[in-house]
Amino acid sequence: MRNFHRILIGLVAGLMLAGGVQAAEGGAHLEQSGVDLTDQASLQRGAKYYMSYCAGCHSLKYQRYARIGQDLGLTDDEVKQNLMFNQNLQIGETINTGMSADLGKQMFGKAPPDLSVISRVRGNDWIYTYLKSFYLDESRPLGWNNTVFPNASMPNPLWELQGLQHAEFGSVDEMGERPVVGLAVTQAGRLKPAEFDQVVRDISAFLAYTGEPAGLKRQDLGVWVLLFLAFFTFMAWLVKKEYWKDVH
């Protein structure tokens, strides 16, 4: 049992270290997203923001409109009005983008990836920080860059809400480059910073849900599983006590 505990602790430590290495490789500090999958209103807003600002390029091919409605407490009519902008779609269909792979390659150099499981690959904090870290960069083909994912092929999809952001550069390093040390909004967007942070948090929460829809029910089921195990343990103890009572 002691060896098992040591192995378990080692595995946990290894996973934490791996997560830290992944964040360090990105070259940027990741902000805490504050994603709360129990906040249904946040998930509903995130779904609407995603469909408005992201779904034009990025699909969610492992998710269906109907499933989103069921899981997020939306009626079919609400899904059609707020999440389905193509009236020819059926509510049982998966969420595909209208952009073809060829058009994506022509516009961005490569087809925009599907984001169904991006939260499981990158993590909620990465998505949250990434969406906040775009800045104008004239050297890039589309005029945008990102501190979390340098030389990203996409522009800032939320620039109207966030505003135009510029990089603040530090001193020249050993490689002869000036690293980005900060970002500053030089032209305000439609939202205040706190309001924009909430929008990004809502989108991050929605992508966390699409990455693992069962996560919404796992916590509730976990409580019942623990109660069952406690009850089973108690019954097992009673059986053991009854079985061994006459053994001397």
The DSSP output letter for 31 is: P
CB-CB contact of 47 with 68 (8 Å): yes
Could you say which of 3.30.1390.20, 3.90.470.20, 3.90.1150.10, 1.10.760.10 is the CATH number of the domain covering 31-213?
1.10.760.10
Residue 27 confidence (pLDDT): 59
The predicted pLDDT at position 173 comes to 76
Contact 46, 206 (CB under 8 A): yes
* Predicted confidence pLDDT, tens digits, the chain (248 residues): 434 333 333 433 343 334 443 443 445 789 999 999 999 999 999 999 999 999 999 999 999 999 999 999 999 999 999 999 888 889 999 999 888 888 988 888 889 999 999 999 999 999 999 999 999 999 999 999 999 999 988 999 999 999 999 999 888 777 777 888 999 999 999 999 999 999 999 999 999 999 998 876 666 667 777 888 888 888 888 888 777 877 75
Length of the chain, please?
248
DSSP codes, 203-215: HHHHHHHHH-TTH
- Give pLDDT, residue 224: 73
Q: Quote the CA–CA distance of 213 and 52 in Å, as a whole number.
A: 21
Sequence-separated (6 or more) residues with CB below 8 Å from residue 161: 189, 190, 191, 196, 199
**Contact assessment for residue 125 and residue 33, using Cβ atoms and an 8 Å cutoff:** yes
At 92 the pLDDT is 94
Residue 216 has what pLDDT?
Answer: 67
First-residue to last-residue Cα distance in the chain:
28
Residues 6+ away with beta carbon under 8 Å from 60:
50, 94, 95, 114, 115, 116, 210
Are 111 and 101 a contacting pair, CB within 8 Å?
A: yes
Question: According to the model, what pLDDT value does residue 248 have?
Answer: 59
Specify the pLDDT at position 172.
78
Separation between Cα atoms, residue 194 and residue 158, nearest integer Å: 14
Contacts 24+ apart (CB under 8 A), 213-222: 213/63, 213/67, 213/71, 215/37, 216/37, 216/71, 219/37, 219/38
pLDDT at 12: 36
